[in-house]
């Protein structure tokens, strides 16, 4: 299908009716729905569908840079580029395909990219929907350059929640984090579960590979399982920052929370010909 700008989109639907919609713009997942059609990802009502800017919501991919830590635009260029469908991807493990509905996307460094980031790469993204509705994103990034390069990556995941003051995250206890609100200074998480009463913009370091987000009001739990992604970004802009974003409603901070599988503190270095794989699996289950 095409979006209103004529940019290709892919809709995945599993046998039970769960679905995901991915835009070739940025390789961005725009929607992930349960088999009852319930939307699980947040998209701002003020989102601007105007390339090259990423839509505010879904799962933009931050690559090869996270945030403003480097010479590229905020969060790198991958989310602002047109990806293509890869009809003949190098094979993944059979378990990555069996019983799954999936699409393979590809972003290759263009001449233009090489001007701002002089490294030739191939970024293969498989987005898949399992029979139970789990959404999986597998990134394979290969250095096809003649010299090593390093990158950071984050799956900037906007979860749809009912009320930010009724949400807690488990799995980040005792971790160190870099606080973007205090010049990225390093702190240690003291709390047990993480709850929210003001703006949070942190990168938790060396987390376990399973993170749980409890939406108390909606009685459901999101689970993030990740491999190759040691860090977790947690972001809610809260009221003041929301008002400064043109593509974000003033009150919308109450219905979203970004919890991103990422590799940020220690950028990943690839030698020529080397490939890195990172996996993120999202699931949602009713919780008491």
∠ CA 191-194-199 to the nearest 5 degrees? 115
The stretch near ligand TA6 (CB under 6 A) out of 67-75, 169-177, 204-212, 213-221 is 67-75
| CB 119, CB 149: distance < 8 Å | yes
Task: Using the minimum distance from each CB to ligand TA6, give the nearer residue, 260 or 281.
Answer: 260
**Is 78 near ligand TA6 (CB under 6 A)?**
no
Choose which of 25, 33, 75, 254 interacts with ligand TA6 (CB under 6 A). Answer: 75
Query: Which of residues 26, 67, 76, 133 is near ligand TA6 by CB under 6 A?
Result: 67
Q: What share of the chain is helix, strand, coil (3-state, %, to 5)?
A: 10, 45, 45
Least Å distance, CB 189 to ligand TA6, is 17
Instruction: Please list the residues that pair with 3 across neighbouring strands.
Output: none
DSSP, res 240: H
CA atoms of 114 and 121, how far apart (whole Å): 10
Q: Rule CB under 6 A: is residue 233 a binding residue for ligand TA6?
A: yes
Task: Pick the binder of ligand TA6 from 180, 224, 229, 263 (CB under 6 A).
Answer: 180
Given candidates 9, 34, 74, 162, which one binds ligand TA6 under the rule CB under 6 A?
74
With binding defined as CB under 6 A, does residue 231 bind ligand TA6?
no
Instruction: Kindly state the smallest distance separating residue 133's Cβ from ligand TA6, in Å.
Output: 26
| SS3 readout for 7-70 | CEEEEEECCCCCEEEEECECCEEEEEECCCCCECECECCCCCCCCCCCCCECECEECCCCCCCC
The sheet carrying 9-13 orders its strands as: 9-13, 19-23, 28-33
Compute the distance between CA of residue 123 and CA of residue 129 in angstroms, rounded to an integer: 20
Exposure class string for 260-271: b at 16+ Cβ within 10 A, else e: bbbbbbebbebe
Residues linked to residue 200 through DSSP beta bridges, in sequence order: 236
201 belongs to the binding site for ligand TA6 (CB under 6 A): yes
Contact pattern for ligand TA6 over residues 248 through 267, marking x by CB under 6 A: ----------x---------
Query: Which residue's CB atom is positioned nearest to ligand TA6?
Result: 235
Q: Are 243 and 250 in contact (CB under 8 A)?
A: yes
Q: Which is nearer to ligand TA6, 11 or 72 (CB)?
A: 72
| CA gap 207, 230 in Å, rounded | 6
Size of the residue set binding ligand TA6 (CB under 6 A): 8
Chain positions 5 to 64 lying near ligand TA6, rule: CB under 6 A, are none
Complex with ligand TA6: residue 23 or 180, whichever CB lies closer: 180
140 near ligand TA6 (CB under 6 A):
no
Nearest distance in Å: CB 154, ligand TA6 = 8
- Which residues contact ligand TA6 by CB under 6 A? 67, 74-75, 180, 201, 233, 235, 258
């Amino acid at each position: 299908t095409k979006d209103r700008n004529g940019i290709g989109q892919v809709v995945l639907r599993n046998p039970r009716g769960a679905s995901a919609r991915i835009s070739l713009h940025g390789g961005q997942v725009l929607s992930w729905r349960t088999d009852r059609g319930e939307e699980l990802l947040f998209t701002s009502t003020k989102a601007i569908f105007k390339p090259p800017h990423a839509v505010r919501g879904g799962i933009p991919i931050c690559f090869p840079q996270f945030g403003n830590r480097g010479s590229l635009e905020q969060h790198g260029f991958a989310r602002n580029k047109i990806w293509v469908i890869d009809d003949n991807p190098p094979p993944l493990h059979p378990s990555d395909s069996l019983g799954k509905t999936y699409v393979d996307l590809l972003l290759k460094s263009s001449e233009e990219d090489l001007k701002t980031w002089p490294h030739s790469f191939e970024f293969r993204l498989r987005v898949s929907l399992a029979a139970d509705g789990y959404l999986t994103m597998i990134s394979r990034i290969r250095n096809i350059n003649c010299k090593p390069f390093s990158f950071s990556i984050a799956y900037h995941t906007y979860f749809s929640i009912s009320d930010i003051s009724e949400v807690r995250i488990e799995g980040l206890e005792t971790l160190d984090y870099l606080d973007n609100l205090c010049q990225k200074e390093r702190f240690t998480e003291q709390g047990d579960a993480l709850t929210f009463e003001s703006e949070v913009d942190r990168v938790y370091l060396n987390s376990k590979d399973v993170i749980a987000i409890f939406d108390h009001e909606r009685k459901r739990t999101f689970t993030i399982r990740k491999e190759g992604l040691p860090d977790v970004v947690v972001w809610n802009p809260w009221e003041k920052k929301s008002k400064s974003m043109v593509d974000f409603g003033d009150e919308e901070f109450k219905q979203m929370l970004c919890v991103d599988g990422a590799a940020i503190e220690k950028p990943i270095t690839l030698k020529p010909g080397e490939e890195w794989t990172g996996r993120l699996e999202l699931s949602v289950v009713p919780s008491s």
